[in-house]
Amino acid sequence: MMRRVGILGGTFDPIHCGHIDLGLASQRALQLTSILVIPSNIPPHRTRPHASTFHRFAMTAIAVAGRAGWQASDLELSQPSPSYTEATLSRLHDDGYKATELFFVIGADAFTDIRSWKDYPRILDGAHFAVVSRPGSPVQQLTQLLPELAARMKAPPTDASEMSIFLIEAATADVSSTAIRQRRQRGESISGLVPPGVEQHIEQHGLYQSPAPSEPHDERLAKPAAGRLHGQS
C-alpha cells in the first residue's frame, strides 16, 4: 500500500479538539497511513505564541499519544526561520517523501487565505491539500471563494496520482486556541475543549494565566527539550 502522510501544522497554542477532529476526518476520508503533527516555531501570519516551544510541543505530544500512526514532529521548531509551509514541504521532499504521498491537512476557514501564502500557487504542487469543513466554513463554498482552484477540488475517496485539493465534509469541534486562552484568563473551565492530558498539562504549569509561573522563557533550553520529548537526541 502506498504511504499517505498527513501533515497537520499550526501554532498549537494550545492544540485543541478542533485540531484533532481535522486530523481524524482526513485520516478516515483519505486512508492516511500516518499523520505528522507539526507545531510552528515562528508563525508568519500570527503574533508570537503565548506558550513556549517546550510547552507547545509537549501539549502536541500528549494530544497524539496513543493515536495509531500519529506523531508529534519538531521539524519546524528546529528551524530559526519563520515557519512557511513551502519550506516544510521542501524539507519533507528532501527526506524522500514524494509530493503525491503528502496531504496537508487544513480547515476550510484557513484555506480561504491560501492566496496570501508564500509561493502560491506553486505550493499546491508540493502536496495534496485535505481541506476539512469548520463551523461556519463549509467546504462547499470554496469553489465560489476560490474559483481559479475549482478544477483541482475533489471529494474523496478518489485517485491521488494527480495533485488535488480534497474537500472533506465532517463535523469538527467549534473551538479556537484564542477562546481557550481567554477562558483560562477568566478562570473558566476548558474541559472538553482540549484533550484531557492537554488540559492537565495546562493546569499543572499554569499556562495562559498572567503571569505564567512555570513558563520557560529561554528558547535555547526549550528547543532541545522538545526534541527529547519524542525520542530525538
In the chain, which residues have pLDDT < 50? 211-233
> What is residue 89's predicted lDDT score, i.e. its pLDDT?
97
DSSP string of 143-154?
HHHSGGGGGGEE
> What is residue 79's predicted lDDT score, i.e. its pLDDT?
83
> What is residue 2's predicted lDDT score, i.e. its pLDDT?
81
For residues 93 and 123, give the distance between their C-alpha atoms in angstroms, rounded to a whole number.
13
CB of 192 within 8 A of CB of 180? no
Please give the DSSP secondary-structure letter assigned to residue 116: G
DSSP string of 166-210?
EEE--------HHHHHHHHHTT---BTTB-HHHHHHHHHHTTTSS
Nearest to 27 by CA among 61, 65, 70: 70
Convert the pLDDT of each residue in 23-49 to its tens digit. 999 999 999 999 999 999 877 666 789
Q: What is the dihedral of CA 145, 147, 153, 155, to 10 degrees?
A: 60
> What is residue 46's predicted lDDT score, i.e. its pLDDT?
65
CB of 175 within 8 A of CB of 17? yes
Q: Which domains does the chain have, with CATH numbers?
A: 5-229 (3.40.50.620)
